[in-house]
């Protein structure tokens, strides 16, 4: 059913990429399922392993597959779309995608604010902040790493609370009356470092989405700054743009 045509001007690796992509989109290989090896594909389509590797590299860059050293090549899970939306916690966001949310606390401590956090929170550079760093997990799969910083004066005793599998925003509102009214979020593309790669279960230098969020109270005062590293193979940014004549 699927075959390469050497008479076509389209390079063989692109033809192979299109065939594999068609089979993935048709559901022949589902999310998380291993696809045939390079050797099998090379023999099946009568092309060199170099051609197969180039096709797989293109599919990997598209986020359709992931290649695991020593294990093989697997179909990627569907990406989670992220764009302009109401302010929600990670737990609520995952529920909307029908995924179970978990968190593993990597750090929960009191520290002096660094210069960047102090500027974002409008506090003195030596003021103490609560640092909460968590590995975010969706249905058993690591999704990202988020580090929140909140002025310690606003959240007395929170450093000793169990903040693993809870919504931080729900705790802040119910326990301290801190309501997240709005936020300003900045995104950028980054490459994952060795420490983050080990936590997220991806290869070193894999692409990721980095975000910095400053969250504000109803009166406009900033009370939280969050730095996130989210897996690039599981997240995408979707924006709806409207033409303006002005």
CATH value at residue 48: 1.10.10.10
pTM strictly above 0.95: no
* Domain finish residue from 55, 75, 95: 75
Same domain, 100 and 192: yes
> Are 230 and 143 contacting, i.e. CB atoms less than 8 angstroms apart?
yes
In a domain, 116, yes or no: yes
- Spell out the per-residue pLDDT of the chain, length 246, in tens: 578 888 888 889 888 988 888 888 777 888 888 999 999 999 999 999 999 999 998 888 777 788 887 788 888 765 544 454 445 556 566 555 566 678 899 999 999 999 889 999 999 988 999 999 999 888 788 888 999 999 999 999 999 999 988 888 889 999 999 998 888 888 888 888 899 989 998 888 888 888 899 999 988 999 999 999 988 877 666 555 655 554
In a domain, 59, yes or no: yes
In a domain, 212, yes or no: yes
Task: Scan for tokens 């989405």, then name that residue.
Answer: 209
In a domain, 6, yes or no: no
In a domain, 7, yes or no: no
In a domain, 88, yes or no: yes
Q: 33 is in which domain, residue-wise?
A: 12-75
In a domain, 62, yes or no: yes
CA dist 58 and 54 (Å) reads: 6
Q: How far is CA 199 from CA 83, 143, 167, 202, in A?
A: 25, 10, 21, 8
Picking from 104, 89, 111, the residue whose alpha carbon sits closest to that of residue 179 is 89
The token duo for 150 is 């909140």
Same domain, 113 and 161: yes
Report the domain count for the chain. 2
CA dist 185 and 246 (Å) reads: 25
């Amino acid at each position: 059913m699927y075959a390469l045509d050497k008479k076509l001007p389209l390079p063989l690796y692109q033809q192979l990429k299109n065939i594999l992509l068609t089979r993935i989109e048709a559901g022949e290989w589902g999310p998380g399922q291993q696809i045939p090896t390079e050797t099998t594909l090379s023999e099946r389509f009568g092309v060199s392993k170099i051609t197969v590797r180039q096709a797989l590299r293109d599919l990997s860059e598209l986020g359709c597959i992931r290649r695991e050293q020593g294990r093989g090549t697997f179909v990627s899970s569907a990406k989670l779309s992220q764009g302009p939306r109401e302010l929600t916690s990670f737990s609520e966001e995952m529920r909307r995608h029908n995924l179970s949310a978990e968190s593993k606390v990597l750090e929960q401590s009191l520290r002096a604010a660094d210069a960047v956090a102090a500027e974002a929170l409008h506090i003195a550079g030596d003021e103490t902040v609560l640092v909460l760093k968590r590995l975010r997990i969706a249905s058993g799969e690591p999704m990202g790493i988020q580090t929140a910083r909140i002025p310690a004066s606003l959240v007395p005793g929170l450093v000793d609370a169990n903040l693993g599998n809870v919504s931080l925003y729900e705790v802040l509102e119910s326990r301290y009356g801190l309501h997240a009214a709005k936020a300003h979020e900045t995104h950028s593309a980054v490459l994952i470092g060795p420490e983050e790669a080990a936590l997220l279960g991806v290869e070193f230098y894999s692409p990721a989405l980095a975000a910095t969020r400053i969250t504000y109270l109803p009166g406009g005062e900033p009370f939280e700054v969050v730095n996130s590293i989210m897996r690039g193979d599981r997240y995408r940014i979707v924006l709806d743009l409207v033409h303006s004549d002005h």
